[in-house]
Structure 1
Amino acid sequence: MTVKPFFAPQLFIPGGVTDISFYSKAFDAVVLRSWLNDDGSIHVAELSFDGVLFHLHEERSFKAQLTPVEAKGVTALIGLFVNDVDVVINKALQAGAILLSPAQDYDYGYRQGSIQDPFGHHWLIETNI
């Protein structure tokens, strides 16, 4: 089988997390599969936005990688291209995100706004205009 290369980000979440419903509520992500720890918390979860994969992984499994809270700063900026930036940002805010910058049009041809998810990850919600 030939696989075309693609990115599948892995976002680190704190150990002990059992609720990852933010991603379903905010982005309509679907949990494809997950591996749980003995206490029922998430070890790894594989999610999809309309066929695009990403993973959540508890941070205690890797010593060099930290959650944004542990790092006391942004560890990555995830760009998510969507059809309607305003709708997605509003949905994310209703699901518990924090607005970092409201959506606006830029002269380089993008409409963008940014949010922070409940685990501290920063998302740049964007579209070509």
Structure 2
Amino acid sequence: MDQTKAPPPLTGVTPYLSIASRGGMAAVDFYARAFGAVEVRRMVAEDGERLVHSHLQINGGSVMLSDEFPEMGGEVDVVPASVTIHLQVDDADEWWNRAVVAGAVPIFPLSDQFWGDRYGQVKDPFGHTWSIGSPIKA
């Protein structure tokens, strides 16, 4: 992580993940192993233990995350639900295998789908669901 470089300008929609149980720093490490994330910026709380903010680049897009901060009015240890973060990649099998080796759990098997993608879903160790897809290779 290079603190001297300004983060790239944001456009579009950027997911911002809340990580339970002070797992933010571990989540950054997981996303680097599983999805090749590059951390653009990190801000740590004065106690040195909580992640206030991290900006990641994954496959050309931004994802942001932080630990939960109940003192700011947020809920604590909420299990993520109803959201799937999609990765459209060049090789779904490669990305899938890397994620599973890093600790993601398959919840929808990776397979060829009727819409023309090889597609599947995994749950990361922090409860977030990720879908991985790429065009079916001819």
TM-score (normalizing by structure 2): 0.78
What is residue 5 of structure 2 aligned with on the other side? none
Q: Is the 8 A contact 2:86 2:131 kept in 1?
A: yes
For 1:37 and 1:4, how far apart are their aligned partners in 2?
24
- RMSD over aligned Cα atoms: 2.2
What is residue 12 of structure 2 aligned with on the other side? 6
Q: 1:102 Cα deviation (Å)?
A: 1.7
What is residue 105 of structure 2 aligned with on the other side? 98
Q: 1:111 Cα deviation (Å)?
A: 1.3
Q: Which runs of 5+ in 2 are unaligned?
A: 1-8
Residue 109 (1) aligns with residue 116 (2): yes
Which runs of structure 1 show a deviation greater than 6 angstroms over 4 or more consecutive aligned residues? none
For 2:51 and 2:10, how far apart are their aligned partners in 1?
29
Q: Give the 3 Å change call, closer, same or farther, for CA 122–39 of structure 1 in structure 2.
A: same
For 1:80 and 1:74, how far apart are their aligned partners in 2?
18
What is residue 22 of structure 1 aligned with on the other side? 30
Of the structure 1 ranges 115-124 and 105-114, higher mean CA displacement relative to structure 2 is found in 105-114
TM-score (normalizing by structure 1): 0.83
What secondary structure, in the 3-state scheme, does the structure 1 residue paired with 2:57 have? strand
Q: 1:42 Cα deviation (Å)?
A: 1.0
- 2:44 aligned residue (27, 36, 57): 36
For 1:122 and 1:51, how far apart are their aligned partners in 2?
19
Of the structure 1 ranges 113-122 and 50-59, higher mean CA displacement relative to structure 2 is found in 50-59
What secondary structure, in the 3-state scheme, does the structure 1 residue paired with 2:118 have? strand
> How many percent identity over aligned positions?
31
- 1:59 aligned residue (65, 68, 90): 68
For 1:81 and 1:53, how far apart are their aligned partners in 2?
13
What is residue 47 of structure 1 aligned with on the other side? 56
Residue-pair matches, total: 124
